[in-house]
Amino acid sequence: MSKPDAALPTPRPVAAARRKAAGAAPARRGRPPKAQAKAAGETRELILDAAEDLFSKHGFYGVTIREVAREAGVDTALVHYYFGAKRDLFDAVFLRRAAVWNDERVAAIDRYAETAGEAMTLEGLLEAFLRPPFEWSLKGGPGWKHYAALVAQTNANPSFGGETMARYFDPAIHRLIELIAKVLPDASEVDLYWGYHNLSGALTLTLGETGRLDRLSNGLARSGDLETAGDYMVRFAAAGFRAVVGMSPRQP
Amino acid sequence: MSKPDAALPTPRPVAAARRKAAGAAPARRGRPPKAQAKAAGETRELILDAAEDLFSKHGFYGVTIREVAREAGVDTALVHYYFGAKRDLFDAVFLRRAAVWNDERVAAIDRYAETAGEAMTLEGLLEAFLRPPFEWSLKGGPGWKHYAALVAQTNANPSFGGETMARYFDPAIHRLIELIAKVLPDASEVDLYWGYHNLSGALTLTLGETGRLDRLSNGLARSGDLETAGDYMVRFAAAGFRAVVGMSPRQP
DNA sequence: GTCTATAAGATGATAGAC
DNA sequence: GTCTATCATCTTATAGAC
C-alpha cells in the first residue's frame, strides 16, 4: 500500500565519509583561493549561517567544524577564532534568533489581545502565536527556515540548546497560556499545560518539515505547505484546548 | 519567572571526551576480565539493548561503537561481528520491535472496532491506538521505553530509520485513518491526514519524555506521566479531528 | 565466538607565521 | 583577521590468533 521508495532525507555519513561516498571532486590541488576581504562582521555571520543550516539538518554530533567552515567558505581555524569550542558555536547559533523569534510572538498575541478586547477568541490567539514562525519559515529566507527546524529539533531533544530554549521560549509560552486562561476561565493550569504540550508537539513536527507526511499521505498533504498546516493547526488545537477544560480540577 | 537551572539532559561530549570530563576511573590496567560464556543469542541482544538505549538518547552520530560495546559488556569487535557497519546496527535496533509495535496497535484498533460495532467512537479508536505504546513505555521494561524514544526521534528526523518507519508504521496509521473515516464520514482524506499529523506530533513529543513540560510548567505537569498524557491526548485529538472535518473538500 | 592488535583515516583544537 | 601546519586523540572497521 505504501510506497517504500519515495524521497526521504538520505542517511548522512560524517563529513569525509560522505565526500568519499559521493566520489566528490578530488580535493582541489594547490593553494585554495584567498578569501576576499569581508565586510566587518560578515565572516561571523557566514559561519553562523552555515552552522545553522547543518546543525538543523544533522544535529550537533552530525556536523564537523571542517564542514561548517567549508560551507561558510572560510578557514577552519576561523571558526574557533570567532566562537571557540564547537559547543559554543552551537549555542551562538541557537541564541542568535531566539530573542527576535519570541519577542515577535509575544508582540503578536499582545497586539491581538488589545485589538480584540472582549471579542478575543481562542482561534485568534493561536493564529497570532503560530503565524509568525510559519511566515518566517516561508518568507524569511533560508536562515529562518533552518532556524525553525533547529527549534523543532531542540524542542524534541533539549540536550543541546535546552537552557537557551527555557530562557527565551518559556516566557513567551507563559504569556500565551495566560491569555488562553482568559478565554477559557474554567480551565486549570494543568489543563492548559497539557493542552499546550499537545500543540507544541504538532508545531515541532511541522517546523521540522521532515517529509513524513508527504509520504504517508502519498502526496495528498505536504509537510512544506505551512499555510495549510497553520490553518489546520489553529482549528485542531483550539478545539483540543476546549475539550480538555476541566480534566484536572482547578487549584483553590 | 522560569528557573533556568532545573534538571535537563546534560550536553554529551562523545565517548572519550565525556569520560575525560567526568574524571572517570583511570581506565583499569591490565587484562579486562574475560566475558562469561553467554547463552545462545544473548550477546546479540545485549548489544541491541545497549545500542537502543544510547541511540535513543544521543542519536546516530552521538554514539560510538566502543560505547555500545562498553555498555553491553562485550568486546568492540563483536559488535561488528554481529552487525557489520554501524549503520546496520542502527537499522537492526529500529527493526527489532517495529513489527511487534505496529501489529499490536493494529490488533488493538481492529479488536475495538469489532467489539464496538455501530457504537464505535473517535475517542475509543484513539484510545485503542495510543494506549499500547504508552503501556509499553511504562511497563514493558527499559528497552521499550528506549524504543519509544527512538521512534519519537525517528519521526521527528527520519534521516535514520525513515525507510523502516515508512514500511512498518505507515500501514498501521493507514488502518487507523480508515477507521476514523468511518466515524467521521464527512471528513476528506486530506482532513484526516492533517489531523493525524497534529496527533502524531503530540505523540512524538510525549514519547520522547524530554522533561521540557516539567520545566515549563514548573512541575505541575510531568513528561513521564504517560497515563495523564494519554488521557489528555485522546480528548485533545478527538476534538481536534472533529474540528477539521470539512476544511478541505472531499474528492468526488 | 571472543579477543588482540592495528590499519587507515577523521576530528576538535591550537600555535604561530603572515 | 586569516591561513598553514600540526598535535593528540578518537573513530570505524578488519585481520588473524585463540
User: Does B105 share its domain with B147?
Assistant: yes
User: Does B139 share its domain with B205?
Assistant: yes
- The pLDDT-based confidence of A29 (bands split at 50, 70, 90) is very low
Domain limit, last residue, from B48, B64, B94: B94
B40 touches strand C (CB under 7 A): yes
DSSP string across chain B: ---TTS--PPP---HHHHHHHTT------SPPPPPPP--TTHHHHHHHHHHHHHHHHHTTTT--HHHHHHHHTS-HHHHHHHH-SHHHHHHHHHHHTHHHHHHHHHHHHHHHHHHHGGG--HHHHHHHHHHHHHHHHHHS-HHHHHHHHHHHHHHH-TTTTHHHHHHHHHHHHHHHHHHHHHH-TT--HHHHHHHHHHHHHHHHHHHHT-SHHHHHTTTSS-TT-HHHHHHHHHHHHHHHHHHHTTSSPPP-
User: Does B86 share its domain with B134?
Assistant: no
Q: What percent of chain B has pLDDT over 70?
A: 84
User: Does B73 share its domain with B185?
Assistant: no
Question: Does residue A65 form part of some domain?
Answer: yes
pLDDT beyond 80 at A40: no
pLDDT in tens, A196-236: 999 999 999 999 999 999 999 999 999 999 999 999 999 99
Which site among A12, A157, A175, A225 would you substitute to test the B interface, given the most B Cβ atoms closer than 10 Å to its Cβ? A157
Distance C13 C1' – A139 CA (angstroms): 37
Q: Which residues in chain A (28-57) have CB-CB distances under 8 A to chain B?
A: 57
Residue B150: name the closest of B165, B139, B171, B140 by CA.
Answer: B165
* Alpha carbon of A210: minimum distance to chain B alpha carbons (Å): 6
CB spacing of A166 vs B6 below 8 angstroms: yes
User: Does A43 share its domain with A123?
Assistant: no
What pLDDT score does B149 carry?
98
| Angle in degrees, CA B48, B31, B44, rounded to 5 | 15
DSSP 8-state class, residue A36: P
Q: Which residue has the cell 500500500?
A: A1
B20 touches strand D (CB under 7 A): yes
Tally of domains in chain A: 2
Question: Does residue B32 form part of some domain?
Answer: no
Closest residue (Cα, C1') to C14 = A77
What is the rounded distance in angstroms from the CA atom of residue A82 to the CA atom of residue B82?
A: 44
CATH number of the domain within which B194 lies: 1.10.357.10
What is the rounded distance in angstroms from the CA atom of residue B67 to the CA atom of residue B59?
A: 13
Coil/strand/helix, residue A249: coil
pLDDT beyond 70 at A26: no
Question: Does residue B199 form part of some domain?
Answer: yes
The mean pLDDT value of chain B amounts to 89
Domain limit, last residue, from A29, A64, A93: A93
CATH number of the domain within which A58 lies: 1.10.10.60
Q: Is B143 exposed, middle or buried (0-12, 13-18, 19+ CB in 10 A)?
A: middle
Distance C18 C1' – B123 CA (angstroms): 71
User: Does B87 share its domain with B103?
Assistant: no
User: Does A176 share its domain with A76?
Assistant: no
User: Does A146 share its domain with A176?
Assistant: yes
- The pLDDT-based confidence of A77 (bands split at 50, 70, 90) is very high
Residue A69: name the closest of A44, A95, A100 by CA.
Answer: A44
Question: Does residue B31 form part of some domain?
Answer: no
User: Does B145 share its domain with B43?
Assistant: no
Within 10 angstroms of residue A127's Cβ, the number of other Cβ atoms is 19
pLDDT (average), residues B216-231: 97
Contact A247, B239 (CB under 8 A): no
Question: Does residue A102 form part of some domain?
Answer: yes
The mean pLDDT value of chain A amounts to 89
**Which residues in chain A have their CB less than 8 angstroms from residue B153's CB?**
156-157
* Alpha carbon of A130: minimum distance to chain B alpha carbons (Å): 14
* Alpha carbon of B140: minimum distance to chain A alpha carbons (Å): 23
Question: Does residue B56 form part of some domain?
Answer: yes
pLDDT (average), residues A55-82: 98
Contact A56, A149 (CB under 8 A): yes
Contact B205, A204 (CB under 8 A): yes
What pLDDT score does A48 carry?
98
A76 touches strand D (CB under 7 A): yes
Distance C13 C1' – A80 CA (angstroms): 8
Nearest Cβ partner for B240 among A193, A200, A237: A237
Q: Which residue has the cell 496509521?
A: B173
Which site among A212, A227, A244, A247 would you substitute to test the B interface, given the most B Cβ atoms closer than 10 Å to its Cβ? A212
User: Does B72 share its domain with B174?
Assistant: no
CB spacing of B195 vs A236 below 8 angstroms: yes
Question: Does residue A212 form part of some domain?
Answer: yes
What is the rounded distance in angstroms from the CA atom of residue A60 to the CA atom of residue B9?
A: 14
Q: B180-214 b/e with 16+ CB inside 10 Å = b?
A: beebbeebbbbbbbbbbbbbbbbbbbbbbbbbbbb
Comparing alpha-carbon positions, the chain B residue that sits nearest to A198 is B202
Higher pLDDT, A25 or B219: B219
User: Does B203 share its domain with B235?
Assistant: yes
pLDDT beyond 50 at A118: yes
- The pLDDT-based confidence of B22 (bands split at 50, 70, 90) is very low
The grid coordinates listed for A58 are 544533522
DSSP string across B168-219: HHHHHHHHHHHHHHHH-TT--HHHHHHHHHHHHHHHHHHHHT-SHHHHHTTT
Nearest Cβ partner for A11 among B159, B212, B217: B159
Residue A71: name the closest of A123, A107, A19, A121 by CA.
Answer: A19
pLDDT in tens, B107-142: 999 999 999 999 999 999 999 999 999 999 999 999
Largest CA distance in chain A: 75
User: Does B104 share its domain with B187?
Assistant: yes
A142 touches strand C (CB under 7 A): no
What pLDDT score does A250 carry?
85
Quote the domain boundaries for residue B144.
Answer: 97-244
Domain limit, last residue, from B52, B71, B94: B94
- The pLDDT-based confidence of A34 (bands split at 50, 70, 90) is low
Higher pLDDT, A5 or A16: A16
Question: Does residue B26 form part of some domain?
Answer: no
Distance D18 C1' – A86 CA (angstroms): 43
Helix axis angle, B98-116 to B122-139, nearest 10° = 140
A17 touches strand D (CB under 7 A): no
